[in-house]
Amino acid sequence: MNDTIETNRDWLSHWANVGERIGRDELFRQVERTIGGKPEPEDQIDLVVAAITQRLSLNGEDILLDLCCGNGLITGRLAPACRGVVGADYSLELIEVARGRSAQANTIYLHRAANELQPGDFPMGPPTKVCMNAGLQYFTEAMTERLLGALRDLGNELTLYITDVPDAGKLGAFYNTAERKAEFERRRSAGTEAVGTWWDRDHITRLFETGGYAVTIVDPGPTRLTAHYRFDILAQLAR
């Protein structure tokens, strides 16, 4: 049974026009790291960085690929733990902000869709670890299958950590009033939903396993403010 609620919004246009809605200095709002319309507390970003660093066992030999990196808000905080980092995003506006605000000597930012990466995009060597922070909600099943295939083609054993996946089984914990549920239905019908794809845990596990990945679903700790309706994914691709 597949209980995933797949997005039907044009997210490419949404992220391509972010500069028309939000100023270049509003880094948290640019990548929608907000709660109640206000920027998330810094400690929430620190918790996400710690989760990625620990689950991936990042070290000074790693080349990290940060998919859907946005303006580099997370990427720049991960870079010191790695030999090199490649951040990729399909929003040119966000990549330009990342290059200006989150640049580091060991970091490259690419204007590229996650499922269009090629081995030549990694001059420091193929990635050894991959992260995606709050990005899988913008993918459909077909897009996710293409992404997993593209990562396989990079030619390395890979460990992936994907944070903040909307949990279809906990939709009611987020849309927790009649008014909020009605807004969800209205915006979904209009193709303007706020979150994107709500993934069924068994469904996303099957997708990864079919693609050749071993998968562990990770429940974030209670200190993560999104833990009541999101989960993380740890996946391993072995050659």
Task: Map out the domains of the chain as residue ranges.
Answer: 11-237
The residues facing 161 across adjacent strands are 131, 234
Which of 197, 179, 188, 100 shows the shortest CA–CA distance to 140? 197
Strands 63-67, 84-89: parallel, antiparallel or unpaired by DSSP?
Answer: parallel
Do 29 and 39 contact (CB within 8 A), yes or no? yes
Radius of gyration of the chain (CA): 17
Q: Which residues make Cβ contacts (< 8 Å) with residue 81, sequence separation at least 6?
A: 53, 58, 59, 60, 62
Q: Which of 54, 53, 46, 93 is nearest to 73 (CA)?
A: 46
- Give one word for 68, left, alpha or beta, with left for phi > 0 and alpha for psi -120 to 50: left
Fold of domain 11-237: Rossmann fold (3.40.50)
158 and 130 in contact (C-beta within 8 Å)?
yes
**Would you write out the chain's pLDDT as a tens digit for each of its 239 residues?**
579 999 999 999 999 888 778 877 788 888 989 888 888 999 999 999 999 999 999 999 999 999 999 999 999 999 999 999 999 999 999 999 999 999 999 999 999 999 899 889 999 999 999 999 999 999 999 999 999 999 998 877 899 999 999 999 999 999 999 999 999 999 999 999 999 999 999 999 999 999 999 999 999 989 999 999 999 999 999 76
Distance from C-alpha of 6 to C-alpha of 23, rounded to nearest angstrom: 30
Q: At what angle do helices 201-210 and 141-152 cross, to 10 degrees?
A: 40
Q: What is the pTM of this model?
A: 0.94
- How would you list the strands of the sheet with 213-218, edge to edge? 107-111, 84-89, 63-67, 129-133, 158-166, 230-237, 213-218
Condensed to tens digits (0 to 9), the pLDDT of residues 113-163 reads 998 998 899 999 999 999 999 999 999 999 999 999 999 988 778 999 999
Per DSSP, what are the bridge partners of residue 117? none
Count H helices, E strands: the chain?
10, 9
